[in-house]
Amino acid sequence: MSHHLPVPLYSARQVRELDRIAIQDCGIPGIKLMKRAGYAVFQQIISRWPGAPLTVFCGAGNNAGDGYIVAALAAESCLPVEIIQLAAAHKLQGDALSAYNYAVQAGVSIKPFSDGMGLETGVVVDALLGTGLNGEVREPFAQAIRLINDSGLPIVAVDIPSGLCSDTGTAVGPVIGADVTVTFIGMKQGLFTGEGPQHTGELVFNNLRVPELVYHQVTPECERLDLEELMPLLPKRRRDAHKGDFGHVLVVGGERGFGGAVAMAAEAALRTGAGLVSVATRSEHVSAMLSRCPELMVNAVSSGQELQPLLERASVVVVGPGLGKTPWSEQLLRQVCMACKPTVVDADGLNLLAAQTSQAHDSRHWILTPHPGETARLLGKTVSEVQADRFAAVRELWRKYQCPVLLKGVGSLICCSDKLPVAVCTGGNPGMASGGMGDVLSGIAGALLAQGIDPGQALSLAVGLHAEAADRAAVDGERGMTATDLLGPLRRLVNP
């Protein structure tokens, strides 16, 4: 989906600014941009559904204007087309009004929207709301969105699926489930996280031939994670390399009943190229872990004190996989915090961290990898508050802990600094919705840190590798994919 898409992502306000600069400073008439947008959508429709009749739903603003153009182009190409209007023509102004007049001249049939309408055939074009949506979708728009979704017909969204917030990727009310979304000028950040990917379908980008210099005047607040750009962080190994060159990762966790988590994190660290990997876990897990993976140095620890010598030997710590929430777990985490080593904190490590009221840690050498539930606990919020604005949540995590943070979920977000854009991972697939995936990720991140990669870059590269390994593993199917299925593709990936 995303290989041909640009890296920068923008808020709705920023795209409006790009639009304004193109019109005012570069002298491109707004109607010209609108015609290019309509043409881009029309091209997608006729290449995918040649000859299909069109029903174009138009709202009031410039998004509707794009829709009127699509309808006019269809009529000029002698395709059956009908416009369903949700805002009367007298409410239109500027370029949208010109586009409406263009559709009228082209002889398009225009009907007002009514409740009991049926949609039988062809392709539906959603030009209802665009990026200007704030808050809830009002009637009759909500009714129209439900009608379109229930029709079962292919849906093409103009710029953004109506009902989706282009800044947060959330939807308060009903939202169009598009098969294809054609987005213009700048890519909207909400298309890539939260509910965005589910509703966007296949994403097509068109810059409407806006000159490059326009983009230099608006700094994006986020960007797509670009794995190719990060791969040079894994250089070819010297012929005289030895295991000491690639760091020593210690994985701490595996309370009774959770031995698998720590095993998966440790194996992922090995497969990502750490020189040595040790494990500190409950004695019950030692023999199983060794028989599964003899390359690991597996140690039984029954107290924080017994962890001490292991911490001294390690160059990087991964704490949290299967750690549990017992007094044993708390002791181990306390020792890890006191050791002041570069540390990846995941899973129960994060939950214990959230439960601590007083202790101030020097977290600057950490990497945190919470999912929305763990994020909510760390920030003292509800999960729905976190998900309502994932970009704000990940920035708040960064401000609180001043270290690279990852907010997992569809369109995982990485924040490494208040100066840099938030990175959005657009890879991965629903096969990753199974136990152990996060443990593998924490092991990958630990191994990259151990190989001397800067924490922010290590986290970004880990997330990119993890998603790409999962996408390669998914060729055998998403359903039933397990976390250890990522280890084979992962090893091939880290040896480009």
The pLDDT score that the predictor gives to residue 360 is: 67
Residue 159 in marked binding region = yes
pLDDT in tens, 230-282: 999 999 999 999 999 999 999 999 999 999 999 999 999 999 999 999 999 99
Q: Which neighbouring-strand residues pair with 367?
A: 344
Q: Which residue has the tokens 């091939």?
A: 492
C-alpha distances in Å from residue 174, one per residue of 20, 67, 147, 151, 211 = 30, 20, 10, 14, 36
Residue 91 in marked binding region = no
Residue 261 in marked binding region = yes
Q: Which residue has the tokens 């939950």?
A: 351
Residue 471 in marked binding region = no
Confidence of residue 361 (pLDDT cuts 50, 70, 90): confident
- Non-local (6+) Cβ contacts of 427 within 8 A are 2, 225, 227, 464, 467, 468, 470, 471
Cα–Cα distance measured from residue 298 to residue 266, given in angstroms and rounded to the nearest whole number: 10
Cα–Cα distance measured from residue 427 to residue 225, given in angstroms and rounded to the nearest whole number: 9
Q: Which residue has the tokens 């199974």?
A: 434
Q: Which helix H or strand E contains 20, and what residues bound it?
A: helix 12-24
Residue 330 in marked binding region = no
Query: Mean pLDDT across the stretch 359-378?
Result: 92
- How would DSSP label each residue in 392-422? HHHHHHHHHH-S-EEE-SSS-EEE--SSSPE
Residue 134 in marked binding region = yes
Is the pLDDT at 1 greater than 60? The verdict is: no
Q: At what angle do helices 62-76 and 30-48 cross, to 10 degrees?
A: 50
Residue 122 in marked binding region = no
Cα–Cα distance measured from residue 433 to residue 480, given in angstroms and rounded to the nearest whole number: 9
90 CB burial (10 A radius; 0-12, 13-18, 19+): exposed
Residue 245 in marked binding region = no
Query: Mean pLDDT across the stretch 222-229?
Result: 97
Confidence of residue 358 (pLDDT cuts 50, 70, 90): low
Structural contact between residues 246 and 451, judged by C-beta atoms closer than 8 angstroms: yes
pLDDT in tens, 111-132: 999 988 889 999 999 999 999 8
Cα–Cα distance measured from residue 298 to residue 19, given in angstroms and rounded to the nearest whole number: 59
pLDDT in tens, 370-427: 999 999 999 999 999 999 999 999 999 999 999 999 999 999 999 999 999 999 999 9
DSSP 8-state code for residue 357: S
Residue 132 in marked binding region = yes
SS (H, E, C) 239-298: CCCCHHHHCEEEEECCCCCCHHHHHHHHHHHHHCCCCEEEEEECHHHHHHHHHHCCCCEE
Q: Which helix H or strand E contains 213, and what residues bound it?
A: helix 212-215
Structural contact between residues 482 and 434, judged by C-beta atoms closer than 8 angstroms: yes
Cα–Cα distance measured from residue 252 to residue 367, given in angstroms and rounded to the nearest whole number: 15
- 283-300 burial, b if ≥16 CB within 10 A, otherwise e? eebbeebeebeeebbbbe
Q: What is the mean pLDDT of the chain?
A: 97
472 CB burial (10 A radius; 0-12, 13-18, 19+): middle
- Non-local (6+) Cβ contacts of 280 within 8 A are 250, 251, 252, 253, 299, 301, 306, 307, 310, 332
The pLDDT score that the predictor gives to residue 359 is: 64
Residue 275 in marked binding region = no
Confidence of residue 3 (pLDDT cuts 50, 70, 90): very low
pLDDT in tens, 22-47: 999 999 999 999 999 999 999 999 99
Tell the CATH superfamily of the 8-220 domain: YjeF N-terminal domain (3.40.50.10260)
The number of helix segments (H) and strand segments (E) in the chain equals 19, 19
Is the pLDDT at 354 greater than 90? The verdict is: yes
Residue 394 in marked binding region = no
Cα–Cα distance measured from residue 149 to residue 235, given in angstroms and rounded to the nearest whole number: 49
Topology classification of domain 227-493: UDP-N-acetylmuramoyl-L-alanine:D-glutamate ligase (3.40.1190)
Residue 371 in marked binding region = yes
Residue 439 in marked binding region = yes
pLDDT in tens, 280-339: 999 999 999 999 999 999 999 999 999 999 999 999 999 999 999 999 999 999 999 999
Is the pLDDT at 2 greater than 70? The verdict is: no
> Which conformational region is residue 227 in: left (phi greater than 0), alpha (psi within -120 to 50 degrees), or beta?
alpha
Residue 349 in marked binding region = no
Confidence of residue 4 (pLDDT cuts 50, 70, 90): confident
Structural contact between residues 404 and 459, judged by C-beta atoms closer than 8 angstroms: yes
C-alpha distances in Å from residue 171, one per residue of 17, 213, 300, 444, 445 = 24, 33, 48, 33, 32
Confidence of residue 453 (pLDDT cuts 50, 70, 90): very high
User: Are 8-220 and 227-493 equal in CATH topology?
Assistant: no
Residue 77 in marked binding region = no
Residue ranges covered by each domain of the chain? 8-220, 227-493
Is the pLDDT at 135 greater than 90? The verdict is: no
The pLDDT score that the predictor gives to residue 495 is: 97
Amino acid at residue number 185 = I
Q: What is the value of pTM for the model shown?
A: 0.97
C-alpha distances in Å from residue 374, one per residue of 178, 346, 368, 478, 485 = 31, 9, 10, 25, 25
C-alpha distances in Å from residue 304, one per residue of 49, 121, 278, 279, 330 = 65, 68, 16, 14, 9
Residue 79 in marked binding region = no
Structural contact between residues 397 and 434, judged by C-beta atoms closer than 8 angstroms: no
Residue 383 in marked binding region = no
